[in-house]
Structure 1
């Protein structure tokens, strides 16, 4: 399906048994002071929970909200891909069903994050994607440890890429979307696919950050998250590197096989201290707050909670 509105954005929400969290996610989108055309595409990934199904039906009655229903559960990334394929707008953004966009009026005085991101992408063809920082809420509150601007060279070295990126729908389709085989670290894998595809076309790979934080990441145990899966990170990294070997070889200036590069990429993944130092270079006060919140040490007492 081709896009219909230039400068417009589709929000894709994959949903499997998210209960009433899906309502919060959708409400946070329709409450944004958006100046550009938009749509919300909920992808029901075979939900069989009555609360979830009722919440989806309620959301579907809102203006600008559509539902794509998969006959049976196919997984988070298949649902994401189905949403992008079904979207009708020029730009796309993923929102997890248990997360939401910030609606704080003070934060939104300078316009919404999606509008700002689309403005940047409209004006800068060499920008591959735009992201914002994430604020955790629920069982823990505060910035994620990776709350600093992404760069292509950092992505190549396994730095975190948030769900919150806004990119061109055409680029997302061109790069092959999310790889269902990469069952964990899928946002990083998608960003690599996107950057590698643009690299092959000779396009620029700038990455821009709208700080915010405009994305709210829910910390809880009620809904199953992809990040909870027990998966070999080396295996997942190898899949991504093998699929984009030319890109990694070029950016790392080496001709090794995929397995050797994957091991080195994973070894370069930042520690929590590395992340904190990157954050401090961007915003020292913010880094100090995060260090205090986490009772910062080389091994964090919050690691068993899975707090990013």
Structure 2
């Protein structure tokens, strides 16, 4: 298999946003081979259909057409199966990779993340910070390096992790029944599969922010959907009970799921983790949000 990375972009009626996502991927000045896999989940919005036609005409872009609307998890799975490269970077179709020259002067996120994974088999995946744009600006409050034990306690994991394709497939890829907190669920699956194999579970981190997360009010945003967090957590814990028992003790799946939901980090804990990583960034975020960590932004689904 060629040394390179596949950027997988599921798309369902995101209009012109998907053009921006693809353009940001193709604009990365990478040294490795790069392809973009756009998975059309049966979009029927005219603007999206036109944008996807442009994507089909672009070099290094493959558009996979699903036969019926199947949801973002199945779309991601189809993209990973279609990928030809050994490393994968998922990107939502309304988000972007940063193309800021000053940020990329020391290397792109794809190049640097793949270099970490190639050089250190103990690293399960690599992530970076996320910068919001659109209806809200600034870093997300989960702007700090993640660790295995934090993931087991339901700290946030972004969509845009870079991981080994073979390990993603071995972990079962993206569970179609997980309808929210999907990025965390997939990270758990990756870590749990490595745990069962006896591999170490270090998590790589690149400061950045190399990812731009769009805040908008278009319909069908998963982050504001009304879905039971406990029910989704129960699915994840039940599927990876040995991993959670390793971190939380020999309890049943339902008890661990309740514990994970009850003790997931509040925004103050996130801010303290952020301050430990970069005090200036944490102070700037607190000032930006007027130190209201349970502000109305939370109700809008802004991370």
What is the TM-score of this pair, normalised by structure 1? 0.97
Identify the match of residue 259 of structure 1 among 254, 261, 265. 254
Q: Are the equivalent residues in 1 in contact too, given 2:224–2:300 (CA < 8 A)?
A: no
Match for residue 94 of structure 1? 90
Match for residue 102 of structure 2? 106
SS in 2 for 1:39: strand
SS in 2 for 1:14: strand
Match for residue 300 of structure 1? 295
Deviates further, 124-133 or 55-64: 55-64
Deviations 1:86-118 (A, max 9, x none): 101000010000000000101110110010000
Identify the match of residue 186 of structure 1 among 172, 175, 182. 182
Match for residue 272 of structure 1? 267
Q: Are the equivalent residues in 1 in contact too, given 2:127–2:204 (CA < 8 A)?
A: yes
Deviates further, 219-228 or 237-246: 219-228
Equivalent runs, 1:155-304 vs 2, <5 Å: 155-252=151-248, 254-304=249-299
In 2, the alpha carbon distance for the partners of 1:104 and 1:155 equals: 30
Match for residue 5 of structure 1? 2
Match for residue 26 of structure 1? 22
SS in 2 for 1:60: helix
* CA RMSD after TM alignment: 0.9
Query: 1:224 Cα shift?
Result: 2.1
Q: Are the equivalent residues in 2 in contact too, given 1:76–1:226 (CA < 8 A)?
A: no
Query: 1:70 Cα shift?
Result: 0.4
Aligned length: 303
Q: Are the equivalent residues in 1 in contact too, given 2:5–2:89 (CA < 8 A)?
A: yes
Deviations 1:169-197 (A, max 9, x none): 00000000011111000000000000000
Query: 1:223 Cα shift?
Result: 4.7
Q: Are the equivalent residues in 2 in contact too, given 1:148–1:278 (CA < 8 A)?
A: yes
In 2, the alpha carbon distance for the partners of 1:298 and 1:210 equals: 25
In 2, the alpha carbon distance for the partners of 1:77 and 1:118 equals: 23
Q: Are the equivalent residues in 2 in contact too, given 1:294–1:301 (CA < 8 A)?
A: no
Query: 1:227 Cα shift?
Result: 1.4
Query: 1:268 Cα shift?
Result: 1.7
Structure 1 ranges of 4+ moved more than 2 A: none
Identify the match of residue 38 of structure 1 among 34, 37, 41. 34
Deviations 1:103-160 (A, max 9, x none): 0101110110010000000000010000001000000000001010000000000000
Match for residue 126 of structure 2? 130
In the alignment, structure 1 segments of 5+ residues that lack a partner are none
Query: 1:10 Cα shift?
Result: 0.3
Q: Are the equivalent residues in 1 in contact too, given 2:9–2:92 (CA < 8 A)?
A: yes
In 2, the alpha carbon distance for the partners of 1:66 and 1:145 equals: 34
Query: 1:298 Cα shift?
Result: 4.3
SS in 2 for 1:162: coil
Identify the match of residue 116 of structure 2 among 106, 114, 120. 120
SS in 1 for 2:176: coil
Query: 1:228 Cα shift?
Result: 2.0
